[in-house]
Amino acid sequence: MKRRLLCVLVTVCLLMFSLQVVVLAADAPAKLPNVVILATGGTIAGSGATTTTTVGYTAATMPVDNLINGVPELKNVANVTGEQISQIASENMTNKVWLKLAKRVSELLASDNVDGIVITHGTDTIEETAYFLNLVVKSDKPVVVVGAMRPPTAMSADGAMNLYNSVILAGSKEAVGKGVLVCMNDVINGARDVTKTNTALLDTFRAPELGYLGYMQDSKPHFYKESTRRHTTNSEFDVTNMTELPRVDIVYGYENNTRVGLDAFVAAGAKGIVHAGVGDGSLFTEVKEGLIDAQKKGVVIVRSSRVGNGIIARNGEANDDQLHFVASDTLNAQKARILLMLALTKTSDPTEIQRMFWEY
């Protein structure tokens, strides 16, 4: 009898202790994600002479610690640390910075102590850096690229909220596996389709016809779709041990055009040429002759369009099969250039490269 009583007593004590642990665990604050901010420059780190200066300011003046300290709310949503990768206006972005950034992103994301990365960046070429990383980062963890259209010194500056939302997004489970994202002005864009659509407005980043992937609202991400194209861990491209990227130039289509610029790029050693054609990637006769000559010298030719939306149809405005040209699908010229640069690290076969443009 005594033994049975003792067993009951021990069981009750164990149950009470377990209950206490459960209650304590439920009350414990949720573990915050570890997010690293890699700063490259841009307006988000810029400064203007007055609170009304929204043009004619200086980009890339503020170090990453100032960006973090300027948004104290960050510590409520993540454990944030920062590194300065570069301090440039993004019109000056280079392959050298890209390769340094890609290497650092991959190193950090390989650590169990890092849950996501935010990259602060000038808005002029944010879409290019985001797409490049979308094709080379070997992790499912969130990578979010963010900028600002007004410097922190301006009234109603957008950088602080953009950074706050981007850190939340980079630390979120919802963003895992979505590819590289661009998060500004409360919207979430995918790296493949986002482009800058206005020189100055806060809502400049859109995917004009293919649309946003979701919104940021009330400190939470809300996704409604995701990219159907290959990216990050499903990408065949790897720049880990690369110190340079193949040269690819863009020639622009317009009325009364000439092949002079194209010939100069080929003479300078371009391995690939993207043609931003009129309409559905149409070619001015003299330029078409220049592209045919370039292709015969081994330069890979991609037909894109200056229009910005829609599919550039293969064998539509040119006999791509016969000329061994590649059609860029829906990638605009600046995005097609990036995919072609990476494609050329694998092959110069136009058929194989066309496969890549259908898949990425």
Q: Among all residues, which ones are annotated catalytic? A: 43
User: Site map for ligand DGL, 75-104, x if CB under 6 A?
Assistant: --------------xxx-------------
One-character DSSP codes across 20-89: HHHHHHHHSPPPPPEEEEEEEESGGG-B-SSTT--SS-BSS-S-HHHHHHT-TTHHHH-EEEEEEEEEE-
Q: Does 43 bind ligand DGL (CB under 6 A)?
A: yes
- List helix spans (H) across the chain: 2-27, 64-69, 74-77, 95-109, 126-136, 159-170, 260-267, 285-296, 320-323, 333-343, 350-359
Distance CA 232, CA 225 (A): 17
Task: Find the part of the chain contacting ligand DGL (CB under 6 A) among 10-18, 119-127, 175-183, 235-243.
Answer: 119-127
Question: Nearest approach, Cβ of 206 to ligand DGL (angstroms)?
Answer: 15
Answer yes or no whether residue 159 interacts with ligand DGL by CB under 6 A: no
Residue located via tokens 């559905």: 280
**Least distance between ligand DGL and beta carbon 55 (Å):** 10
124 is a contact residue toward ligand DGL (CB under 6 A): yes
Contact 65, 163 (CB under 8 A): no
Verify binding: residue 38, ligand DGL, rule CB under 6 A: no
Interface region with ligand DGL, contact rule CB under 6 A, candidates 141-149, 220-228, 276-284, 292-300 = 141-149
The SS3 call for residue 293 is: helix
Closer to ligand DGL by CB, 61 or 295: give it: 61
Q: Are 223 and 174 in contact (CB under 8 A)?
A: yes
149 touching ligand DGL, by CB under 6 A: yes
Min separation Cβ 328 and ligand DGL, Å = 24
Residues that bind ligand DGL (CB under 6 A): 42-43, 59, 89-91, 122-124, 147-149
